[in-house]
Amino acid sequence: MAIRTTLYGYQVENGKTVIHNEESEVVKRVFSLYVEGETLNSIATMLTEENVAYFQDEVKWNKNTIKRMIENEKYMGNEVYPMIISTSLFNQAKTVKESKSCKQETHTPEVELFREIAVCGKCGSRFKRVNTWGTREKWMCSKGCKCSIYIDDAILEYVVTGNLSMVIRNLDLLNIVADSQYMPTIDVTKEENELIRLLEQPKLKFSAVAKCILQGAKVRFDCCKFDNGELTEELKDEISSIDKIDYRIMKEYIKQIIIQPDGRIITVFINNAEITNGGAENAS
Ligand SMILES: [Zn+2]
């Protein structure tokens, strides 16, 4: 079987490397698609489905073919290869690639889980975690309500773990039936304003935010919806035997994390019990 010896997008004519018209169009398309957000896999699938030949009528696109293509600096042109891709498009693709690989490396399984179950406190749509450069992690509503808030991964994990461990210590938190609407008192409002102020600081102090969240929890009572008693009893039973909290435990017992625009984080358990920030401790 013959293998390709000339870089895709080019052909050799009279000993000189020149642009292959059709193939070079495919190269341009691959770079554009990638910059627009398609993945290596989705691009490979697209070309395969369209029957685009890679070499001698052979259709063989995969993730790695695409990856090697967007990484190949020759497409920007040099003494041998004429330019197919502008330096600026090449660099855009490079930035996208770097941001993706950096995302993959830094995400803990906990953060992956939060990305799956976080919802917007205002409209209930998925809350998306937006990668920001450096230390700040931003979450925003995936629908049009424009809610967004900076919450460091460490804070989010701290709060959710805190909610869970509070429930383990006090299983009855799972069956609180609140009959009153949540009415913030002056103290609560003060705490919340302080929390918003802290979260908006350009440099976040983890200890200050954590302290503020827990203080807030002390003065706060939020209502908890209650589903059915049987599930709650089972849940209590299982939760009481947890000795170590990790993402698997979170995944099993936590249904949703509601992120309010004011920085409150509500953990919703699978029986619909809701624990706000540090918990509904003084509800009992
Ligand atoms: Zn929303």
Domain residue extents for the chain = 10-104, 109-283
Q: If you measure from the C-alpha of residue 121 to the centroid of ligand 1, how many angstroms do you get, rounded to a whole number? A: 7
Sole residue written with tokens 């209502």: 223
Q: Are 237 and 171 in contact (CB under 8 A)?
A: no
Q: If you measure from the C-alpha of residue 282 to the centroid of ligand 1, how many angstroms do you get, rounded to a whole number? A: 29
* pLDDT value at 174 more than 90: no
Q: Where are the alpha helices (DSSP H) in the chain?
A: 21-35, 40-49, 63-71, 87-106, 109-117, 153-169, 186-200, 206-218, 229-239, 247-253
* pLDDT value at 100 more than 80: no
Q: If you measure from the C-alpha of residue 148 to the centroid of ligand 1, how many angstroms do you get, rounded to a whole number? A: 9
Sole residue written with tokens 């998306």: 128
Q: If you measure from the C-alpha of residue 123 to the centroid of ligand 1, how many angstroms do you get, rounded to a whole number? A: 4
Beta partners for 4? none
* Helix/strand/coil for 167: helix
The residue-averaged pLDDT of 166-181 equals 70
All residues at 6 or more sequence positions from 255 whose CB lies less than 8 Å from its CB, including other chains: 117, 268, 269, 270, 272
Higher pLDDT, 61 or 138: 61
Q: If you measure from the C-alpha of residue 66 to the centroid of ligand 1, how many angstroms do you get, rounded to a whole number? A: 36
Q: If you measure from the C-alpha of residue 225 to the centroid of ligand 1, how many angstroms do you get, rounded to a whole number? A: 21
The residue-averaged pLDDT of 15-20 equals 94
81 vs 87: CA distance, rounded Å? 14
For residue 146, what are its two tokens? Answer: 């424009």
* pLDDT value at 84 more than 50: yes
51 vs 46: CA distance, rounded Å? 9
Q: If you measure from the C-alpha of residue 189 to the centroid of ligand 1, how many angstroms do you get, rounded to a whole number? A: 22
19 vs 72: CA distance, rounded Å? 15
101 vs 105: CA distance, rounded Å? 6
* pLDDT value at 262 more than 70: yes
Identify the pLDDT of residue 145.
81
Q: Are 155 and 181 in contact (CB under 8 A)?
A: no
Q: If you measure from the C-alpha of residue 276 to the centroid of ligand 1, how many angstroms do you get, rounded to a whole number? A: 18
DSSP percent split of the chain into helix, strand, coil, nearest 5 = 50, 15, 40
The residue-averaged pLDDT of 171-195 equals 61
Identify the pLDDT of residue 53.
87
Mean of the per-residue pLDDT values for the chain?
A: 79
Q: If you measure from the C-alpha of residue 91 to the centroid of ligand 1, how many angstroms do you get, rounded to a whole number? A: 34
Query: Residue 179: which pLDDT band, with cuts at 50, 70 and 90?
Result: very low
Identify the pLDDT of residue 189.
63
53 vs 57: CA distance, rounded Å? 5
Query: Residue 94: which pLDDT band, with cuts at 50, 70 and 90?
Result: very high
Q: If you measure from the C-alpha of residue 126 to the centroid of ligand 1, how many angstroms do you get, rounded to a whole number? A: 8
Q: If you measure from the C-alpha of residue 202 to the centroid of ligand 1, how many angstroms do you get, rounded to a whole number? A: 24
For residue 229, what are its two tokens? Answer: 């008693």
pTM for the structure as a whole: 0.49
All residues at 6 or more sequence positions from 96 whose CB lies less than 8 Å from its CB, including other chains: 34, 35, 37
Residue 117's nearest CA partner among 266, 239, 280 is: 266
* pLDDT value at 170 more than 80: yes
Residue 266's nearest CA partner among 159, 165, 190 is: 159
191 vs 33: CA distance, rounded Å? 46
Query: Residue 206: which pLDDT band, with cuts at 50, 70 and 90?
Result: low
Q: Phi-psi category of 279—alpha, beta or left, where left has phi over 0 and alpha has psi -120 to 50? A: left
Higher pLDDT, 257 or 207: 257
Q: If you measure from the C-alpha of residue 119 to the centroid of ligand 1, how many angstroms do you get, rounded to a whole number? A: 8
Task: Report the range out of 3-7, 23-27, 57-61, 220-224 with the highest average pLDDT.
Answer: 23-27
